Structure 1
Amino acid sequence: MGNKILKNLEDDDHPSLGPTLYGLKLWGMWQPKRGVSSFIYNLVHISAIMFVLSQYVELWIIRSDLESALRNLSVTMLSSVCVVKAGTFVLWQKHWKCIFDYVSTLEKNEINKNEAITCRTIKEYIEYSRKITYIYWCLVTATVFGVILAPLASFISSPTDETTNNCTKVYPEIMSSWLPFDKTHGIGYLAMILEQTIICFYGGGIVANYDSNAVVLMSFFFGQLKLLKLNCERAFEENSGINSHEYINKIRNLHKQHSSLVKYSKILNSLLSPVMFLYVIICSLMICASAVQLTTSGISRMQQIRITEYLLALIAQLFIYCWHSNEVSLMSLKVDEGVYASAWWSQNTCVKRNVLLLMGKVRRNIIFTAGPFTSLSVPTFVAVLKGSYSYYTLLSKREN
């Protein structure tokens, strides 16, 4: 049953991007056709922005209560990143379409050649991207249900002395947000819970599909750079009887292949970089806020489980970006090894000169950035964790 559902997500026109494009379209970010559905999706995105603004209003109201403010802040900042991801994706549809068309067209052309090494390389990175996508979707789904159900479990298991002035238990809320009516009981409380539940599923879908789409595209660039390296290794053959003109055409095609990868990686980076710049800054604060909550005295076991799962999801979300960007960067620096490993030495002087130019051309670092100040890499991931720990230490000393 599960395999059948996953198989239905595949798309022959988009070998790598089938499941992620389906998810992006389902959550209203990918809108290839304008119409009534597009208008409705955009209204949903605008409603989500309004909800995030209400979270900031509530944060201002409860600013004197540090524990409640930190709990609100950790969720509000993640909500902010969600609406930024959705908003930028919708606004930059033209550029995303440009990347999607390039990726799918290139893969279909290469698969149609039916060349063994090429097909095997493409199959490897597609299978890898599928595993990462489905595992990440499961992680986000578990986090969403944890955020929704944990307050209820905490409420049920809480001591009976946690009461209000009316000697009744305080009803839990999924996240803190401002509403223009009484949300503590009755219809107002039910309306709040329904709204926040819908927002949780909305935000989870945005995060799951946006991030998995980025990881699939990074895996594509990694796989294509690896394939380019293999093509460079096979470009020259000793005593093959091929004339110099044909070898120069091969070199020209390798130049074009690498130039296209650099061009579209820059387009992808221009789309991801502003969002990731915001996320890297916010992620440090969110991890710190979650750590402070986790070590607060008097916190219940259910709250600890909820915060721990939330904290792990934050760290995993940042890690997959930094890891895959780092992998693309390392592979981009290894492409020239393929040229060196080929039989270039068996060619004449004219071909060798062109090979030298090719080696200089393909040794170009491709890395994705978080704004103009830092790159998405494993050292950046470690630096964010260190910064979060520093903020946590500072807050802990202030409390003491």
Structure 2
Amino acid sequence: MLKKYLARLEDPNHPLLGPTLWGLQSWGMLQPNRGMSRIIYNLIHFATFLFLVSLYVELWFIRENLELALKNLSYTILTTVCVVKAGTFVVWQTYWQEIIQFVSTLERSQLEKKDKTTCTIIAGYTKYSRNVTCFYWGLVTATVFTVILAPLGVFLSSSEQRELILNGTIPFPEIMSSWVPFDNTKGFGYWFQIVEHTLICFYGGGIIANYDANTVALMSFFCGQLELLAANSKKLFSEDSKLVSYSEAMERIKQCHAQHLSLIKYSKILNSLLSPVMFVYVVICSLMICAIAILLTTEGTTTMQRMWGAEFLAALIAQLFLYCWHSNEVYFMSERVDRGIYESEWWRCGVDLRRCVVLLGGQLRKTIIFGAGPFTNLTIATFVAILKGSYSYYTLLSKNED
């Protein structure tokens, strides 16, 4: 069903990024240059920032309650990630639009040539991107509804607890805990916060789902284009086992060189946009995994809270894995792209063409990798290291608690 919905969002001007661009525009990250809608979107982003401040204030007030503080810390950190992603995308929107324009323009020009190999590779990574987008949007949607319905689950999970809540012995369960200048444990204040937190959950889920899906699609683009570049390198000097003319071979070499230069240029721009965001995410991801692990193993945690924690933890790890896996794929493909030259029939060409092949080979040896700040790269090794670090923090805190 979700795939049918995604099919309606296809845009011929953006063969790869149609659905994700719709999501970015709907959640106010990809904005028009001017107009009332831009003002409204920015007011929503600013209101979310103020809500984040209230989460940190509440975290300070409840710091002595470990279980409540850990749960609130998870929401606070996740909201921080949402604000950072939305804020940086809006501020650096010009550079994002430059990358999007490059991707769509290049793909349209390649598809117009009707080359079988080109169309097959583009169709392959486009389909893959759609599947990842469908899976990820579904995962985030499930997480959002799990978080929103968690208080209802707590209320219905135990008749004894339900009686205590109705008698006023314990407060009504909350979606999350944020500071407000009025009583939020009952009456209007409680329902105001329920509505506020519900809207924030939908906002944050949309920000994360669309930002990440768009980034993964762009990483898939670079990986696919490097694969296409390797395929074109194999055909530099021959077509159907017949040598092409000198001028045709030189033109193909120039095209491969120019294509790789463009990929290097725009991958650096994308990395400059992602690196600060991913640095923040990688640092706090360890804390979030650790906090949820402690919450899951704390005595007195209800079944509903364990279900929430397990689902939340799975979504968190899946999000980190998506970035590390696809960045890793781009890196290894960029290391293998120069093999296409040596698999071509360069040995059948003259000395002049062989010199050009050497220059092209030097260009293609430049690798592409996405980083998380100046300290680490997004690879599978980084993903494993983060999980190990989180487990180490969890073990340390568990021993201190004992």
TM-score strictly above 0.5: yes
Using the TM superposition, give the Cα deviation of residue 166 of structure 1 relative to its aligned residue in structure 2, in angstroms.
6.0
Aligned to 2:279: 277
After superposition, residues 277-356 of structure 1 pair within 5 angstroms as 277-356=279-358
The 8 Å contact of residues 155 and 173 in structure 2, kept in 1 or not, is answered as yes
Write the mapping of 1:74-85 to structure 2, written as runs, cut at 5 A: 74-85=74-85
| Residue number in structure 2 paired with 1:30 | 30
TM-aligned CA deviation for residue 257 of structure 1: 0.4
Whole-angstrom distance in 1 between the partners of 2:160 and 2:234: 72
Give the secondary structure class of the aligned counterpart of 2:114: coil
CA drift of 1:170 comes to 2.1
Cα shift at 1:179:
0.5
Counterpart of 1:160 in 2: which secondary structure? helix
Which of 198-207 and 154-163 deviates more? 154-163
2:185 maps to what in 1? Answer: 184
Name the counterpart of 1:199: 200
Mapped to 1, the partners of 2:168 and 2:19 lie a distance apart of 51
* Match of residue 55 from structure 1: 55
Partner Cα separation in structure 2 for residue 312 and residue 351 of structure 1:
53
Distance 1:353 1:161, change over 3 A: closer
Report the equivalent of 2:210. 209
Distance 2:161 2:216 in 1: 48
In structure 2, C-alpha distance between the alignment counterparts of 1:30 and 1:247, rounded to whole Å: 41
What does residue 174 of structure 1 align with?
175
Moved more, 17-26 or 65-74: 65-74
Aligned to 1:5: 5
Q: Measured at CA, do residues 19 and 167 of structure 1 come closer, stay the same or move farther in structure 2, by a change above 3 Å?
A: closer
Q: Tell me the SS of whatever aligns to 2:180.
A: coil
Question: How many residue pairs get matched?
Answer: 400
* Residues 161 and 106 of structure 1: CA distance in aligned 2, closer, same or farther (over 3 Å): closer
Paired residue for 2:399?
Answer: 397
Partner of 2:388: 386
Of 225-234 and 244-253, deviating more is 244-253
Task: Indicate the residue corresponding to 1:146 in structure 2.
Answer: 146
State the match for 2:222 in structure 1.
221
- Show CA shifts across 1:226-274 (max 9, x none): 0000000011128745332332222111110000000000000000000
Q: In 2, distance between residues paired with 1:4 and 1:285? A: 37
Provide the alpha-carbon RMSD of the alignment: 1.5
Measured against aligned partners, the alpha-carbon deviations of 1:131-154 in whole angstroms (never above 9, x if no partner) come to: 000100000000000001012111
1:5 offset after TM fit, Å?
2.7
Please say if residues 3 and 134 of structure 2, whose CA atoms lie closer than 8 Å, have aligned partners that are also in contact: no
64-73 or 16-25, which deviates more:
64-73
Aligned amino acid, residue 372 of structure 1: P
Return the alpha-carbon distance in structure 2 between the equivalents of residues 309 and 166 of structure 1.
31
In 2: Cα distance, 1:234 partner to 1:241 partner? 10
Q: Matches of 1:280 and 1:134 in 2, distance apart?
A: 24
**Using the alignment, how far apart are the partners of 2:165 and 2:97 within structure 1?**
54
Instruction: Tell me the CA shift for residue 33 of structure 1.
Output: 3.8
1:242 is aligned with what amino acid?
A: V
Q: Could you tell me which residue of structure 2 aligns to residue 133 of structure 1?
A: 133
- Do the aligned partners of residues 298 and 236 (structure 1) sit closer, same or farther apart at CA in structure 2, a change above 3 Å counting? same
What do residues 72-128 of structure 1 show as CA deviations (whole Å, max 9, x unaligned)? 111100100000000000001100010000000000000000111100110000000
Q: 1:241 to 1:305 in 2, by over 3 A?
A: closer
- Amino acid of the structure 2 residue aligned with 1:221: F
1:333 alignment partner, SS class? helix
Note if contact 2:146-2:308 (Cα within 8 Å) is conserved in structure 1: yes
**Paired AA for residue 223 in structure 2:** F
Q: Provide the C-alpha distance between the structure 2 equivalents of 1:157 and 1:355, rounded to a whole number of angstroms.
A: 69
How far the C-alpha of 1:354 sits from its partner, in A, is 0.7
Offset, 1:363: 1.2
**TM-score between both structures, scaled by the size of structure 1:** 0.97
One-letter amino acid of the structure 2 residue matched with residue 201 of structure 1: F
* CA positional deviation for 1:165: 11
Give SS of 1:34's match.
Answer: coil
CA distance in 1, matches of 2:170, 2:249: 79
The amino acid that maps onto 1:15 is P
Separation in 1, partners of 2:3, 2:100: 25
Match of 2:69 in 1: 69
CA-CA distance at 1:193 after TM superposition: 0.4
Deviation at residue 2 of structure 1 after TM alignment: 5.3
Residues 3 and 59 of structure 1: is their aligned pair in 2 closer, same or farther, counting only changes over 3 Å?
closer
2 CA distance for matches of 1:161 and 1:348?
85
Asked if structure 1 preserves the Cα contact closer than 8 Å seen for 2:77 and 2:284, the reply is yes
2:232 alignment partner in structure 1: 231
Q: In the alignment, which of 242, 265, 268 is matched to residue 266 of structure 1?
A: 268
**For the Cα contact (< 8 Å) 2:82–2:207, is it kept in 1?**
yes
Counterpart AA for 1:73: L
Task: Assess, with a 3 A threshold, how the Cα gap between structure 1 residues 8 and 319 changes in structure 2: closer, same or farther.
Answer: same
The answer on whether the counterparts of 1:160 and 1:169 sit within 8 Å (CA) in structure 2 is no
Please, which runs of 5 or more residues in structure 2 have no aligned partner? none
Amino acid in the other structure paired with 1:342? S
- Matched AA of 1:388: S
Most deviating of 4-13 and 375-384: 4-13
